[in-house]
Structure 1
Amino acid sequence: MGRVTSAAPATADRELDELPRQTEDLGTRPGPVIPEPVFGATDRGRGTLVGIIITLVAALTRFWGLTQPTDGGTPVFDEKHYVPQAWQVLTGGQWIEDNPAYGLVVHPPVGKWVLAAGEAMFGYGPMGWRFMSAVCGVVIVLAIYLSVRRLSRSTLVGAIAGILAICDGVLFVQSRMGMLDIVQTAFVVLAFAALIADRDQMRARMHRVFLDGRIDDSPFGPRFGFRWYRFAAGVMLGLACGTKWSGLYYVIFFTVLCLGFDVAARRAYHVKRPWAGVLRRDVLPAGLSLAVMPVAIYLASFATWFASESSVYRYVVGTEIGSGGTFSWVPAALRSLWYYEAGILDFHAGLTNSAGNHHPWESKPWTWPMSLRPMLYAVEYGPDQCGGADCVRGQMLIGTPAMWWLAGPMILWALWRIASRRDWRYVAVLVAYSAGILPWFAELDRQMYFFYATVLAPFLVMGLALACGDILRAGYRARRPDRRTVSVLIVAFYVTLVIANFVWLWPILTGSPISDLEWGRQMWLPSWT
């Protein structure tokens, strides 16, 4: 059996710096065609240095002026829900929300534990409320950089993604708010990064098996063994579900994505029965890691609720619900939790426009990709805000237009690459992006807000960065200096435009004092006001 590499000259899996030096048509070698043995960017030293710089810049932007704005020293917007809940979790003695004044607690505890960690370090103040959100924001930027670097096999393209992530208004503002969405987004992005690393690791194992001549030992292909990256993804998905229920969407979408990777790997290395191989050897362990594991972690997040004598609805069997019936065999603790969660579901189901629930800043999911209806988190008017001159201090959650207004073209380009080149990178990004938006179209009557789109931002950034990489690759492959120069200039201009757009929006992203005139200039669309 020939020891070959690849016949795919159009593949996007090469480091940009190596492209000009490719002169051999690898497809002319004898034997069956298999993918190139490139499983990530090869410049580890440079990649590490760039990652450190990206992380430091992200930390600087996220932590600078973190204690502003406030509502007279108190939390702003939905911080008013989660900040005191986190404090009660921290100070209640049992790591649960058992204060009867809260009534029904509508989100699982993991995100509030994360916020409570910051309050434990810095107390009940703005730094304590927001410290862990800022940490999550930095982690997200680093995870985006690492994911795109692996997707593109290029440190340069990864760096572009890191810069775009730093300059995105949604990721920036949510990183500076004591809310749950940025925490969930961090877990989702880490799960995605783990699945991309798992794909590379499994392909590397498959490649070794192929070169050793053992690919035909079984018509179903080799067994992959225990997959730590996939296990880590399952843990992250469990924590995402333990932060907000919408993490369930990612459990479903990412499980399908992982199995799709496995089918593609077995087909790429000429396994005789790839689909049957996945059914026999991958479905069960994938389900255990990516479906069962998140459920187990979700239940484990309620361990303190199970253990407490004062947990809300902990002992409803025999009072609120009967002790007999069809499900009497289920432990009373789990039946109580089911009753509790059913109440949460009823609460969310009742937050509908048809039931008379309206909010001046609510939005529907078709407006999210272009950030057409942002959110006003805090605003103060008057001369006392600017040392005697009339001005405004307002903070808005708004996506950087230079990126968010290109969501549609990015999706179309991704679909074209998938249809014409079978580009797996865009499949991964679109699956993740879809998990964050498509399920919301099933319940359009419900109250929704733009901050639900926080989890879309990382995958928008990844798609745009990959598109920039495609432009650069097209220039390098042209083998003409003028084409290379034009491609570099296009990407450099775009990245500069994003940075300039972010700087322009800085006052309304941070709540800095500006004049009424300047505030009006910041409001580009009528729907922003």
Structure 2
Amino acid sequence: MVSVLQRTARGGAWPVGRPPLPARPGSAAFPLDRPLPQDRLLSWLLAITLAIIGGILRFYRLGYPTDDGTPVFDEKHYVPQAWQMLRNGGVEDNPAYELVVHPPLAKQLIALGEWWQGYDGVGWRLSAALAGTICVLLIVRIARRLTRSTLFGVVAGVLLICDGVSFVQSRMGMLDIFLTLFVLASFGALVVDRDDMRTRMARVVAQGRVHDSPFGPRMGVRWWRFAAGVLLGMASAVKWDGVYWVAAFGVLSVVWDLCARRSAGVRRPWAGVFVRDVGPALWALAAIPILTYLAAWWAWFASETATDRYEVGREIGTGGPFSFVPAGLRSLWYYSGHVLSFHTSLKTSHTSPHPWESKPWTWPMGLRPMLYYYTNSGQACGESQCVAATMLIGTPVLWWASPAALGWALWRAVTAFDWRYAAILVGYLAGYLPWFLDIDRQMYFFYATPMAPFLVLALTLCLGEILGRARGGVERRSTGLLIVAIYLGLAVANFAWLWPVMVGDSITPAHWDAEMWLPSWR
């Protein structure tokens, strides 16, 4: 994949869409991507409009369902812990010793909603719904930058609004939508950083300074990459899974730097990357995430009663080769070891597995969804017996197309050296492949939530290929536009059809049966 990224980052599927910067005699022009559309104000208005629409849908009846006034499914862990944070200065009570098994950031964000609204269904889910709404705004802007098309930024926003996984997780007081938010935001920051660095490199080439050093130029302060590091640290402070994106995006960024130097004609691009880029990348995408992660534990460090806070001198010796490490960090390491032990021992029971457990090979097409809530009592549907359920379902028009979209992305990355497809695959696979490392671990479909935006981006690029270029002919363009419009219509219709079983509306048993498209959905 690294070799593919090296080649794809040099250009992409588009030819240069603007004249190269004027170069001095004897210097080559640096290949820039096609410029962004000149409709900045309109593009922001469209992005905000789509975010508002997505927000309205996500906030609709946000306080329902509950389990007789209590949280549902895994909300039962995180919602009370967030409420405890409000009462205890930012740390959990932890009445069941060592049961707190995730970093604190997402629970702190849930606590903000509870502080604002109170301890009820809306309060539990307020922050999650806001995070899901921001994801819609982000994906519109990211897709516009990837495709250089405001139209396909809108397409990506519509698809994410209609994605059942992102939608339902935005309405649950759980952690995964926050992980998705920070991962998607960090990806967007790195894409902007790539554009910024290539513009800087083009300026150096145009000024004839690229050969002043055999290693190429220094790239200066890179605030977008710094922001990506902070966001990746926040992702890791939601769940440790964020570490996989830290590694994946770190490699991606350095490979982009290598390819920029090669495209600029730097005499020693590999050495230039190690001399000029690796150190700053390690600072921005390794050290900054670590510092951000530790900062999320501020309340634990400040607490006198947090679990395992003062273990040095008790369970941890005061001497030894790591005695120079501050006692608070050593205690956090000790506590994290207990958390890691919990996760590694969380295995699938061969005698009584969880009825809604799923393995990662089912996730790309959403073959085994997740039932969060179900009741068949009540008569609100107009019959003697009704069904009300909330189920995490990947909208089939999107998720069932994933093998084709991801397969095409791989093909384009390998054969056309398209950096956009390669980057999307890196983001998708960083959230997918690690789950194969321990197949016996308990797993559920909601772990695939951070994969959803990258699937949407892959689908958006594929639809862009179908639409074709403006200069491809009126008939070709019209046919492509028709196909894109039909696909979007199907996505909206599919989302609307599944709406009752994603928001818990009361429906008849016959309607419930019609919603269950596959035997594995039951």
Match of 2:4 in 1: none
Counterpart of 1:437 in structure 2 is 432
Query: Equivalents in 2 of 1:103, 1:387: separation in Å?
Result: 47
- The answer to whether residue 194 in structure 2 is matched with residue 192 in structure 1 is no
Q: Which of 337, 358, 361 is the matching residue for 2:356?
A: 361
Kindly indicate whether the alpha-carbon contact (under 8 Å) linking 1:37 and 1:207 is maintained by their aligned counterparts in 2: no
Q: Show the 5 A alignment for 1:128-167.
A: 128-167=123-162
Write out aligned runs for 1:447-466 (5 A): 447-466=442-461
- Whether 1:515 aligns to 2:505 is no
Structure 1 residue 139 displacement after superposition: 0.8
Q: Does structure 1 retain, via aligned residues, the 8 Å contact 2:30–2:201?
A: no
TM-score by length of 2: 0.93
Matched, 1:374 2:376: no
Contact persistence 2:79–2:110 (CA under 8 A): yes
Q: Quick check: 1:298 aligned with 2:300? A: no
Q: Equivalent residue for 1:527?
A: 520
The 8 Å contact of residues 43 and 150 in structure 2, kept in 1 or not, is answered as yes
Q: Which amino acid aligns with 1:74?
A: T
Number of residue pairs the alignment of both structures matches: 510
Cα drift, residue 288 of structure 1:
0.6
2:462 corresponds to 1:467: yes
After superposition, the Cα gap between the structure-2 partners of 1:128 and 1:272, relative to the gap in structure 1 and judged at 3 Å, is: same
Q: What's the CA shift for 1:380?
A: 0.9
Over 3 Å counting, the alpha-carbon distance change for 1:65 and 1:218 in structure 2 is same
SS of 2:374's partner is: strand
Other-structure match for 1:47:
43
Which amino acid is 1:514 matched to?
Answer: I
Q: Deviations 1:90-137 (Å, cap 9, x if unpaired)?
A: 122x21113434643100000000000111110101111111101100
The 3 A distance-change label for structure 1 pair 37 and 450 is: closer
Q: Does the CA contact (< 8 Å) of 1:411 and 1:430 recur in 2?
A: yes
Partner of 2:31: 35
Q: Specify whether residues 43 and 477 from structure 1 end up closer, same or farther in structure 2 by C-alpha distance, changes over 3 A only.
A: same
Shift of 1:410: 0.8
Q: Does residue 1:340 correspond to 2:332, yes or no?
A: no
Verify the 8 A CA contact 1:12 1:152 in the aligned structure 2. no
Provide the rounded CA distance (Å) in 2 between the counterparts of 1:353 and 1:9.
46
Which position in structure 2 is the counterpart of 1:3? none
Paired position in structure 1 for 2:3? none
AA partner of residue 501 (structure 2):
I
Maintained 8 Å contact 2:136/2:161: yes
CA contact (8 A) 1:221 1:277 kept: yes
C-alpha distance in structure 2 between counterparts of 1:369 and 1:343, whole Å? 32
**Could you say what secondary structure the match of 2:180 adopts?**
helix
Matches within 5 A, 1:271-420: 271-353=266-348, 358-386=353-381, 389-420=384-415
Specify which of 486, 493, 498 is matched with residue 493 of structure 1.
Answer: 486
What SS does the aligned partner of 2:443 have? coil
Q: What's the offset of the Cα at 1:354?
A: 5.9
Which one of 214, 228, 233 corresponds to residue 228 of structure 2?
233
SS in 2 for 1:282: helix
1:447 Cα deviation from its structure 2 partner: 0.4
Q: Of the candidates 96, 101, 105, which is equivalent to residue 91 of structure 2?
A: 96
- What's the secondary structure of 1:394's corresponding residue? strand
Structure 1 counterpart of 2:186, one-letter code: A
Q: Percent identity?
A: 54
Query: 2: CA distance between counterparts of 1:79 and 1:221?
Result: 52
Change (3 A) 1:14 1:518: farther
Maintained 8 Å contact 1:385/1:393: no
CA distance in 2 between counterparts of 1:455 and 1:526 reads: 26
Change (3 A) 1:215 1:103: closer
CA contact 1:14–1:152 (8 Å) conserved in 2: no
3-state DSSP of counterpart to 2:358: coil
TM-score after normalising by structure 1: 0.92
Question: Which of 97-106 and 251-260 deviates more?
Answer: 97-106
Single out whichever of 214-223 and 452-461 deviates more from structure 2: 214-223
Of residues 52, 59, 82, the one that matches 1:56 is 52
Q: Which residue of 2 aligns with 1:213?
A: 208
Alignment of 1:478 with 2:472, yes or no, is yes
- SS of the equivalent of 2:390 reads strand
Unaligned runs of 5+ in 1: 1-7, 23-28
**Distance (whole Å) between structure 1 residues aligned to residue 127 and residue 274 of structure 2:** 41
1:322 CA drift (Å):
2.9
Tell me the CA shift for residue 319 of structure 1.
2.3
1:177 aligns with 2:172: yes
Letter in 2 for 1:485: S
Cα distance in 2 for partners of 1:9, 1:72 equals 56
Query: For the residues of structure 1 that align with 2:12 and 2:318, how far apart are their CA atoms?
Result: 64
Superimposed CA distance per residue, residues 467-501 of structure 1 (whole angstroms, 9 cap, x where no aligned partner): 11111125x3422x211111111111111111111
